[in-house]
Chains A and B, each alone.
Chain A
Amino acid sequence: MSDDDDILLDVAHLKVYFRLPRKNIFAKASRVHAVDDVSFQIKRGTTLGIVGESGSGKTTTAMAVMRLTPITSGAMRLGDTDLAALEGEDLRHARTRMQIIFQDPYSSLNPRVRAGAIVREPMDLMNIGDPADREGRVADLFRKVGLRPEQQALFPHQFSGGQRQRIGVARALATQPELVVCDEPVSALDVAIQAQILNLLRSLQDEFGLTYLFISHDLGVVQYMCDEIAVMYLGQIVEYADRISLFTEPLHPYTWALLSAVPSADPATRARADRIRLQGDPPSPIDLPPGCRFSSRCPFAEARCVQETPPLRSIRPGHAVACHLVSDDGVPPQRRS
């Protein structure tokens, strides 16, 4: 991260807490720590992946970046704009620069609006381009995402899941955004269609110089799509590395467990894999224990893991980990034992 000018999205100490309804009027209102002190940066034209299991806060992070969920504290900069401080009309105008592709292609398109109108709407609302050219631009976007321009007149229910996701991609591109947040864009699709959509996203990135924040729980997808990867567990980043380092030298025991859980078609790999099977469920994000959040499930946990919260520390340029047990020269606990 030598060239600071290249950074498009800079998120620092982002926290998103959700208040729970009080059990009675005397009870202290408890809060869900959905995202707890998360920091990351994305360079222009690259893809940052966020992986983690359900409830790790990855989608909440995406929604916070999109300013679609209220943030508790933290700073977010998009280029030279202070994203976290924007309100009202300023925020509305800033939204042209960032768009989102949703997970579920069935609930992300308004069932009462025709496909062409769905893609045209952002241009009308944000006043993008000459109104006379918009019709042509919609047709152009349809071709770009692999749909036929004649299909504009159809309603969403007349499309297949993959086609609907393509409409979602076209809608996201209509405002000519710099940042596109992909919130598990392929996890609701068939494997064959997944590959098509991933390839589409990659070719669109090349063509328009897009920057992606890519949320996924599928390590295979992340490996294919992302330049850098952040692994989240219970609202915090536990490991942050470029793709090659993360997949060849995972440091955090949780990352190790995640990687070892990826099914392999090759029997040799399967036999070699020293699989870590995690016991139990993650603790509730409401009453968080002190110390490392992963300690209750970590096979290597020691006494200090339960007492002290490990900070995210840099082991070498571009590779950071939040674990007491990783030595400063980057030897993970798995190798030592």
Chain B
Amino acid sequence: MTDSDNTQSRQIDEMPETPVEHPFRQFVTMYMRNYAAVAGLLVFVVIVAAALLAPVILNVDPFEMVDVPLLPPGESGHLFGTDNLGRDMLVSIIYGARVTMAVGGAAAAITLIIGLSIGAMAGYYRGWVDEVLMRITEFFQVLPPLLLAMVLVALFSPTLETVAIAIGVVSWTGVARLARAEFMRLRELDFVKAARSIGGRDRRIIWLVILPNALPPLIVNAALTVGIAILFEAALSFLGLSDPNVMSWGKLIGDNRDYLLDAPWTVTIPGVAIFLTVLAMSLIGDGLNDAFNPKLRER
């Protein structure tokens, strides 16, 4: 290295810029390669569209009794038949999608907000903050989630808001642990130290430096959380612990459970609707996971 003068110190690396595909494009390509995930996304889009457009395409009250009770599917122009009170099942399913998606989405959002805040603080600050927050998390983990949600809904009024909050309160622990692990990993990386040395404050480092890099596993988890929240909502309304004035899939199963043997479609159809929605969310989560980690999929 003694004949350093020959080496041009200001010379630009000869390496040409590699034409790298835009990250988002690459993400979409990877997602599209997973056919199951594409199918899941299609199902999801159809359900969301039905939920959003319900009042436009079917301007009827789902609680209106339109025909004889327990008509089998296809009879008298009722595609999905009628339920125990003679209400059209198709209308109920479509209106039920509104509640299911709204509660599922809101509960997943609450889960993410609580879990992320607690996990981020614990993983970033470590020490006693971590100890206290993790003991609180463990406290929530050992409580039976469905029981706790039932107690919360029973204590407060059984409205959709309460149901969504109750589901969020019982299911944030997994997100908190995931966020904590990601923050603990990322806080040790040099670019986080660099952010501190160039004058970044804690709040900036947590939300603007670490969080964007911690998002991929959390987004995957959020998709799965929506599915779990939908199941929770169905369970609560099956048990009658939901708003009795709104139609939901769980409520349909709960109302018709006595007719399971005589009119199985009244229970099966909403059951299949729940199954398809949760399956779609799982497949979407799977596809997002592949798209975020293209290298893992190639193996």
Contact = CB atoms under 8 A, between A and B. Distances in A.
Interface of A: 63, 66, 68, 92-93, 95-96, 98-100, 102-104, 107-112, 121-122, 125-126, 146-148, 151, 154-155, 157-158, 160, 162-163, 166, 168, 171, 174-175, 193, 195-196, 198-200, 202-203, 220-221, 224
Given A107-B189, A125-B198, A199-B9, A158 B1 contact: no
A245 to B, nearest CB: 19
Given A198-B1, A199-B7, A220-B1, A158 B17 contact: yes
Contacts of B7: 195-196, 199
Contacts of A93: 199
B59 interface: no
A63 B190 CA distance: 11
11 contacts: A63-B193, A66-B193, A109-B194, A147-B12, A148-B12, A155-B23, A160-B15, A168-B194, A174-B198, A195-B7, A196-B13
Interface string B185-202: 000011101111111110
B197 A66 contact: yes
Among B9, B23, B199, residue most surrounded by chain A Cβ atoms (within 10 Å): B199
B245 interface: no
B217 to A, nearest CB: 15
Nearest to A197: B9
Contacts of A158: 17-18, 20
Interface in B1-49: 1, 4, 7-13, 15, 17-18, 20, 23
Given A104-B190, A111-B213, A198-B1, A175 B198 contact: yes
Contacts of A202: 9
Contact of A146 (B10, B23, B199, B200): B10
A95 B198 contact: yes
Contacts of A122: 198-199
Given A147-B12, A158-B18, A193-B13, A95 B195 contact: no
B95 to A, nearest CB: 41
Interface of B: 1, 4, 7-13, 15, 17-18, 20, 23, 189-191, 193-201, 204, 209, 212-213
A321 B191 CA distance: 36
A327 to B, nearest CB: 33
A110 B191 contact: yes
A110 B213 contact: yes
Contacts of B213: 110-112
Nearest to A93: B199
A232 to B, nearest CB: 21
A110 B20 CA distance: 17
A111 B195 CA distance: 13
Given A66-B197, A100-B197, A108-B190, 11 more contacts: A92-B199, A95-B198, A95-B199, A98-B197, A102-B194, A108-B191, A112-B213, A121-B195, A158-B18, A174-B198, A202-B9
Contact of B209 (A110, A147, A168): A110
A95 B200 CA distance: 10
A96 B199 contact: yes
Contact of A126 (B9, B20, B199, B212): B199
A102 B213 CA distance: 19
A95 B197 contact: yes
Contact of B10 (A95, A108, A110, A200): A200
A62 B197 CA distance: 12
Q: Which 7 pairs from chain A and chain B are nearest by CB?
A: A199-B9, A122-B198, A108-B190, A125-B199, A102-B190, A160-B15, A110-B191
A103 B195 CA distance: 15
Contacts of A112: 212-213
Given A111-B213, A162-B13, A202-B9, A99 B198 contact: yes
B197 A203 contact: no
Contacts of B190: 102-104, 107-108
Contacts of A154: 17
Contacts of B12: 146-148
B201 A92 contact: yes
B131 to A, nearest CB: 12
Contacts of A126: 198-199
B185 to A, nearest CB: 11
A92 B205 CA distance: 13
Contacts of B199: 92-93, 95-96, 122, 125-126, 175
Nearest to A151: B17
Contacts of A95: 196-199
Contacts of B195: 110, 121
B196 A68 contact: yes
Contact of A171 (B8, B23, B198, B204): B198
A95 B190 CA distance: 16
A81 to B, nearest CB: 16
Among B11, B12, B20, B204, residue most surrounded by chain A Cβ atoms (within 10 Å): B12
Contact of A107 (B13, B20, B191, B198): B191
A143 B266 CA distance: 72
A155 to B, nearest CB: 8
A250 to B, nearest CB: 20
